């Protein structure tokens, strides 16, 4: 009986310590007066490429310390579940503005108004010239990784411009995850963007989605220009 209990306990320990880390912010987020410790923390093998050294408030003072934390506009995805998700990039603009042309670029492909054709990993859902509207692009970046097109890191370039010569001001972009089976929405990131103007495929880069793969998680970060 004692041996049976011991075996069960040993199996439980194995299950606990071999399970993937839970999906949450795994960065230490501890604020230090100087950057030496956060730099060391961010270099740990399980945190490499996921966390970065950022400014923080130390001992009640504002912006005078450093921590190893997630970069701004970032989220983590569990590597073992990435195959279940696709990325949806939505460019949108308010009523009173019309016809934002977009160009989304990934691994040599370029989709959008007067741009290239849809690829295996990048799918543009069509042009919108509406007064208040949106355009969407679906990106299967993990399928591209499984096919050997990238390993540790990659990026998606986002371009946008108002059709014609009239500058209509800022617009918006949302980068979100969506399950491929039931289209349930997951994490998302938002930013203002500042388009240019043109009549062809937009050359104006407004943002970039940067993707970093770590030991257990993949980080998605939205950088806007």
pLDDT band at 11 (very low <50, low <70, confident <90, very high): very low
Q: How many CB atoms lie within 10 A of CB 137?
A: 24
| Same-domain status, 26 and 111 | no
> 105 pLDDT exceeds 80?
yes
In a domain, 9, yes or no: no
| Same-domain status, 32 and 93 | no
Q: Residue 172: give the domain boundaries.
A: 78-224
* Sequence-separated (6 or more) residues with CB below 8 Å from residue 8: none
| Same-domain status, 56 and 83 | no
Paired with 68 in beta bridges are: 53
* Sequence-separated (6 or more) residues with CB below 8 Å from residue 108: none
**Spacing of C-alpha 65 from chain mean position:** 26
| Same-domain status, 57 and 159 | no
In a domain, 15, yes or no: no
Residue among 82, 83, 86, 79 nearest 178 (CA) = 86
CATH of the domain at 95: 2.60.60
Q: pTM value?
A: 0.86
Domain count, the chain: 2
Q: What is the pLDDT of residue 59?
A: 73
In a domain, 188, yes or no: yes
In a domain, 111, yes or no: yes
Mean pLDDT of 121-143: 97
What stretch of H or E contains 12?
helix 2-18
| Same-domain status, 186 and 117 | yes
> 104 pLDDT exceeds 60?
yes
| Same-domain status, 188 and 142 | yes
The share of the chain scoring above pLDDT 90, in percent, equals 84
Secondary-structure breakdown of the chain: helix, strand, coil percentages, each rounded to the nearest 5: 15, 45, 40
Mean pLDDT of 108-129: 96
> 8 pLDDT exceeds 50?
no
In a domain, 2, yes or no: no
Pick the last residue of a domain from 70, 87, 105: 70
In a domain, 125, yes or no: yes
> 91 pLDDT exceeds 80?
yes
| Same-domain status, 88 and 188 | yes
| Same-domain status, 51 and 132 | no
User: What rounded mean pLDDT belongs to the chain?
Assistant: 90
Mean pLDDT of 93-118: 97
Paired with 217 in beta bridges are: 78
Mean pLDDT of 180-198: 96
The share of the chain scoring above pLDDT 70, in percent, equals 88
Residue among 63, 56, 59, 61 nearest 28 (CA) = 56
Mean pLDDT of 162-187: 96
> 16 pLDDT exceeds 80?
no
| Same-domain status, 210 and 188 | yes
């Amino acid at each position: 009986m004692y041996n049976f209990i011991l075996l069960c306990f040993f199996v439980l320990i194995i299950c606990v310590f071999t399970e993937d880390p839970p999906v949450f912010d795994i960065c230490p987020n501890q604020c230090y007066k100087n950057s030496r410790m956060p730099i060391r923390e961010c270099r740990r093998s399980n945190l490499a490429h996921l966390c970065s050294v950022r400014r923080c408030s130390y001992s009640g003072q504002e912006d005078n310390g450093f921590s190893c934390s997630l970069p701004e506009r970032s989220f983590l995805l569990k590597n073992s579940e990435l195959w279940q998700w696709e990325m949806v990039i939505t460019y949108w603009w308010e009523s009173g503005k019309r016809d934002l042309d977009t160009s989304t670029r990934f691994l040599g492909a370029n989709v959008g108004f007067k741009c290239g054709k849809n690829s295996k990993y990048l799918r543009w859902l069509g042009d919108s010239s509406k007064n208040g509207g949106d355009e969407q692009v679906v990106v299967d970046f993990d399928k591209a990784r499984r096919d050997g097109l990238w390993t540790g890191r990659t990026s998606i370039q986002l371009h946008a411009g108002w059709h014609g010569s009239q500058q209509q001001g800022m617009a918006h972009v949302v980068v979100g995850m969506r399950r491929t089976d039931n289209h349930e929405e997951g994490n998302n990131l938002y930013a203002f963007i500042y388009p240019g103007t043109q009549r062809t495929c937009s050359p104006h880069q407004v943002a970039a989605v940067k993707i970093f793969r770590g030991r257990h998680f993949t980080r998605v970060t939205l950088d806007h220009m």
